[in-house]
Amino acid sequence: MADRWVQNHQQDSWRRQAKASGYRARSAFKLKQIQEKHKLVSPGDSVLDVGCHPGGWAQVAVELVGESGKVVGVDLQSCVPVEGANLIVGDITDAHTQSAVLESIETEVIDVVVSDISPHITGKWDIDQAVSLMLVAEVFDFSLPILKYGGHFVTKIFQGVGVEEMIDLVKPHFKFVKRFSPMASRNSSSEVYLVCKYHTPKKGPDWKIKPAFERALEEREGGLMPDEEVEPAKSTFVVKRKSKE
């Protein structure tokens, strides 16, 4: 009960701060805190914001890149325009939307991809978490070919089955891959951000994350009896309780 009160109080506090600062969503503070710790975006950068509705991260990205930079966002839902950003409506896994994004980026490569993508939450945790990781794999596969050498990528993930496998698959593409839990993420949530820095493109036919991820999950489930539960692989990452005030 007390925990829930503290959690609600903290969420309200971020919401109030977002309103006072002119941000559309408290999630804006998550990107600000990721940036503070990991310095992903620099002035003049081009940034792709995946899952950008209602536009909180796009607002922060526009501030970070400044006038010489570029921000392109994409979401299933349309956003009220954000000055300085081009926000596209569509499904990032759909070829038409991907073409629209590439057209809007204009350059051959992009400096940073920030993805807060989250599927429609059904409330069935296992399903939501699994669908979320598949979406993340698709965002990687779309983004990696257009992410510049040395570029950065951050994505929301939900802790659970498959996360360790995903991280193992992503590591060969970047020099630095680490989970980070910003203060503005809810205490009770298993939401964390996977911060990937210094893109070092993996060459060869098997560079894609999604097919390899599906294979890794199949292998993990292969040895199980039909009604055995899949245990998440062991992780040393712990989301610490946060006290903000």
Ligand X SMILES: C[S@@+](CC[C@H](N)C(=O)[O-])C[C@H]1O[C@@H](n2cnc3c(N)ncnc32)[C@H](O)[C@@H]1O
Could you list the residues that contact ligand X (CB under 6 A)? 24-25, 27-28, 51-57, 74-77, 91-93, 116-119, 135
Give CB contacts under 8 A, 24+ apart, made by 66-73. 68/43, 68/44, 69/43, 69/44, 69/45, 70/45, 70/46, 70/105, 70/106, 70/107, 71/46, 71/47, 72/46, 72/47, 72/48, 72/101, 72/104, 72/105, 73/48, 73/49
Beta-carbon-side half-sphere exposure of residue 235 (alpha carbons within 13 Å): 20
CB of 136 to ligand X, least distance (A): 10
Dihedral, 142, 145, 149, 154 alpha carbons, nearest 10:
10
Nearest distance from residue 32's CB to ligand X, in Å? Answer: 10
Q: Nearer to ligand X by C-beta: 42 or 77?
A: 77
Q: How far is the CB of 46 from ligand X (least distance, A)?
A: 18
Q: Catalytic residue among 156, 175, 210, 242, which?
A: 156
Nearer to ligand X among residue 11 and residue 168 (C-beta) = 11
Nearer Cβ to ligand X (50/147): 50
156 flagged as catalytic? yes
Closest CB 33 distance from ligand X, rounded Å: 13
**Residues marked as catalytic:** 156
